[in-house]
């Protein structure tokens, strides 16, 4: 009897191939460990310059790993030969800010004026935290990371504006410094936390009621650590409400050929 | 009798003020030491996205420090309150790739669709080399750094293409490693050399006949080191020949409020 192949045995291209042939349509968390995963935002060229500016001005939340030329679906730097129109498990299609479709491939929506942005993702640093023996609670609990709209406003750019969205991971007090140190070393995956121990400083009232994702347990000797989150970009795109926007479905990321230790931005 | 004020006593804002009031119209090399200087490229919004892509794909030659929104002349990140239209000593104005004016301020040319790019400059790492006791020959000789069009092609983006332009600084063999080490630490100023010791590998036939700048002496125990150069961007802009392009005049850079050790890209 053959056991099901677990992600730990796959490399990035194998994961992308499973997306392309339709056999993978679920989240990519934990797949192809050690490979950098990325958020995907696809926008018409008419608003792409302003969106790039938004990312440039909010680099902790929106670290730009690669941008493609209008009409190009191959991220030549992150994964030569890949096609962002079919190599992710699932997509969200927005029209004027409203989610209208959640397809597993987006060729039918493709246009020659579409520009693809690949942005850093916290999955990369979570792997680094785990390897260092630090807890990652939502992985332990088998749920999504809790995320909160903070009261901190992003720097705006054209129509793109909105709150800084943060993800929260509790850490034992004795391991907080190590968690800061490790994540500071991966600026392409949001870098160091933006806040620790004081949710009220970010306008967060109830840690058990996240705006996105799932609540997680916080032990008595633990502090909540808050990192800038890629959902910041998705919120800004939703609020800007361009005529068309396509993103990855939350948690269904683009798995790149880059390794976590590579210099990416 | 009052002695002329030398740059060593000025900070960045004082240099910019002298540009603005018209009392400085010469090169900025050696002024406001320790402050990061930047290349300036101003382009119409219609070609700005492709130019940003060109920089993104050729980051060693064109490290992006800041981009302004269309019509905005204040680089809020690098120098809040500054105005790139009058805070540089001299500009080059190109129409369809042809240099037509070399003014000391560009308000008369300003339009609401112009986007400003500020790119890293080797003046920052030269200061670091000098402080480490390494020779910088063109500074010793009081001339401009020698620059060469290499046979290495840049990655293209839309209409922007051209050769990688490199600057050359000879280093004593015993100090080559230190020179690599120091400049590797300043990615916002072109980073480590792209080549050392083999000009022919870059298609350079005669080190005494640079394409830009001045030739410098190379001693018997020295190797030529080649760094990616910001002139790469200026060449790509000239060749793309947009209807309007404004740049700094060579050597007449924008002096930012950032310090050489700051994390900039």
pLDDT of res. A125: 85
Q: How confident is the model at residue B127 (pLDDT cuts 50, 70, 90)?
A: confident
- Which chain A residues are within 8 Å of B115, Cβ to Cβ? 49
Domain membership of residue A192 (yes or no) is yes
Q: Which domain holds residue A179?
A: 132-232
Look over chain B and give the mean of its residue pLDDT values, rounded to a whole number.
Answer: 92
Which chain A residues are Cβ-neighbours of B67 within 8 angstroms? 52-53, 56
* A168: confidence class by pLDDT, cuts 50, 70, 90: very high
Q: Which residues of A touch B52 (CB under 8 A)?
A: 49, 52, 67
Residue B39: pLDDT band with limits 50, 70, 90:
very high
Per DSSP, helices labelled H in B25-136 are 45-57, 123-131
Residue A232, token pair as written in the block: 């910041």
| A50 pLDDT more than 90 | yes
Q: Name which of A44, A45, A49 to mutate to probe chain B: the one with the most chain B Cβ atoms within 10 A of its Cβ.
A: A49
Instruction: Find all residues with CB under 8 Å of A68, minimum gap 6, and list them.
Output: A74, A75, A76, A84, A115, A116
Instruction: Please tell me the number of Cα atoms within 13 Å of B74 on its side-chain side.
Output: 4
pLDDT value at B262 more than 80:
no
Strand partners, A117: A41, A67
Per DSSP bridges, beta strands B98-101 and B91-95 are: antiparallel
Band the pLDDT of B6: cuts 50, 70, 90: very low
**Is the per-residue pLDDT at B3 higher than 80?**
no
Q: How far is B64 from chain A (nearest CA, A)?
A: 10
Q: Are residues A102 and A42 in the same domain?
A: yes
For residue B48, CA distances in Å to A62, A95, B173, B240 come to: 20, 25, 42, 12
In a domain, A73, yes or no: yes
ipTM for the predicted complex comes to: 0.81
Q: How many CB atoms lie within 10 A of CB B241?
A: 13
- Is A105 domain-assigned? yes
CA distance B25 to chain A (A): 31
Under an 8 A CB cutoff, do B49 and A115 touch? yes
Closest partner residue to A69 (CB to CB) among B45, B53, B265 is B53
Element (H, E) at B87: none
Return left, alpha or beta for A30; rule: phi > 0 is left, psi -120 to 50 is alpha, else beta: left
pLDDT, tens digit (0-9, with 9 covering 90-100), for B146-163: 999 999 999 999 999 999
Residue of A nearest to B47 (CA): A49
Do residue A118 and residue A62 come from a single domain? yes
A222 pLDDT above the threshold of 70: yes
d(CA B136, CA B113): 40
Residues A73, A161 within the same domain: no
A56 shares its domain with A76: yes
Does the beta-carbon distance from B157 to A69 stay under 8 Å?
A: yes
Question: What secondary structure letter does DSSP report for A162?
Answer: -
pLDDT in tens, A112-164: 999 999 999 988 888 889 989 999 999 999 888 999 999 999 999 999 999 99
Confidence tier at B5 by pLDDT (50, 70, 90): very low
Query: Of B37, B41, B36, whose CA–CA distance to B235 is shortest?
Result: B41
A30-40 pLDDT per residue, tens: 888 889 999 99
B78-112 pLDDT, tens digit per residue, is 999 999 999 999 999 999 999 999 999 999 999 99
With beta carbons under 8 A apart, name residues in chain A contacting B264.
Answer: none
Question: Is the confidence at residue A109, as pLDDT, over 90?
Answer: yes
Do B182 and B250 fall within a single domain? no
Residues A243 and A147 in one domain: no
The predicted-structure confidence for B47-68, as pLDDT tens digits, reads as follows 999 999 999 999 999 999 999 9
Mean pLDDT of B174-192: 92
Residues of A in contact with B50 (CB under 8 A): 69
Going by C-alpha positions, the residue among B163, B147, B138 that lies closest to residue B218 is: B138
Residue A167 in this model has a pLDDT that exceeds 70? yes
CATH number, domain containing residue A189:
3.30.2040.10
Across the interface, do A48 and B50 touch by the CB < 8 Å criterion?
A: no
Interchain proximity B49–A45, CB inside 8 Å:
yes
Tell whether A139 and A227 lie within a shared domain.
Answer: yes
Q: Does A117 share its domain with A242?
A: yes
Say whether both B100 and B170 belong to one domain.
no
% of chain B at pLDDT higher than 90 = 83
pLDDT value for A265: 58
- Let me know the angle formed at the C-alpha of A167 by A125 and A97, rounded to the nearest 5 degrees: 115
- A69/chain B closest Cα distance in angstroms: 7
pTM for this predicted structure: 0.88
Q: From chain B, which residues contact A within 8 Å (Cβ)?
A: 45, 48-50, 52-53, 56-57, 64, 66-67, 69-70, 77, 115, 157-158, 265
pLDDT at B123 over 70: yes
Q: How high is the mean pLDDT of chain A?
A: 92
Q: What tokens does A115 get?
A: 């520009």
Q: How many domains does chain A have?
A: 2
| Measured distance between the N- and C-terminal CA atoms of chain A, rounded to whole angstroms | 45
Asked if B50 and A69 come within 8 Å (Cβ–Cβ), the reply is: yes
Of A209, A56, A217, A192, nearest to A122 by C-alpha is A192
> What is the least distance, in Å, from the CA of A265 to any CA of chain B?
7
């Amino acid at each position: 009897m053959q056991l099901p192949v677990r992600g730990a045995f796959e490399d990035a291209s194998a994961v992308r191939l499973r997306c392309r042939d339709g056999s993978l349509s679920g989240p990519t968390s934990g797949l192809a460990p050690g490979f950098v995963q990325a958020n995907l935002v696809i926008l018409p060229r008419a608003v792409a310059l302003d969106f790039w500016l938004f990312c440039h001005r909010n680099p902790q939340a929106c670290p730009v790993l690669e941008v493609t030329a209008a009409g190009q679906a191959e991220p030549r730097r992150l994964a030569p030969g890949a096609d962002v129109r079919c190599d992710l498990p699932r997509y969200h299609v927005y029209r004027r800010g409203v989610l209208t479709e959640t397809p597993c491939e987006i060729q039918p929506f493709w246009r020659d004026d579409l520009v693809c942005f690949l942005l850093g993702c916290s999955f990369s640093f979570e792997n680094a935290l785990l390897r260092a023996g630090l807890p990652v609670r939502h992985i332990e609990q088998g749920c999504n990371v809790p995320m909160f709209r903070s009261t901190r406003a992003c720097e705006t750019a054209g129509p793109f504006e909105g709150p800084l969205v943060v993800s929260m991971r509790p850490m034992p007090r004795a391991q907080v410094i190590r968690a800061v140190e490790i994540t500071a070393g991966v600026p392409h995956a949001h870098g160091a936390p933006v806040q620790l121990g004081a949710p009220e400083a970010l306008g967060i009232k109830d840690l058990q009621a996240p705006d996105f994702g799932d609540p997680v347990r916080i032990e008595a000797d633990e502090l909540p650590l808050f990192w800038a989150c890629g959902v910041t970009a998705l919120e800004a795109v939703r609020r800007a409400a361009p005529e068309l926007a396509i993103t990855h479905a939350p948690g269904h990321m683009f798995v790149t050929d880059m390794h976590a230790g590579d210099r990416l931005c």
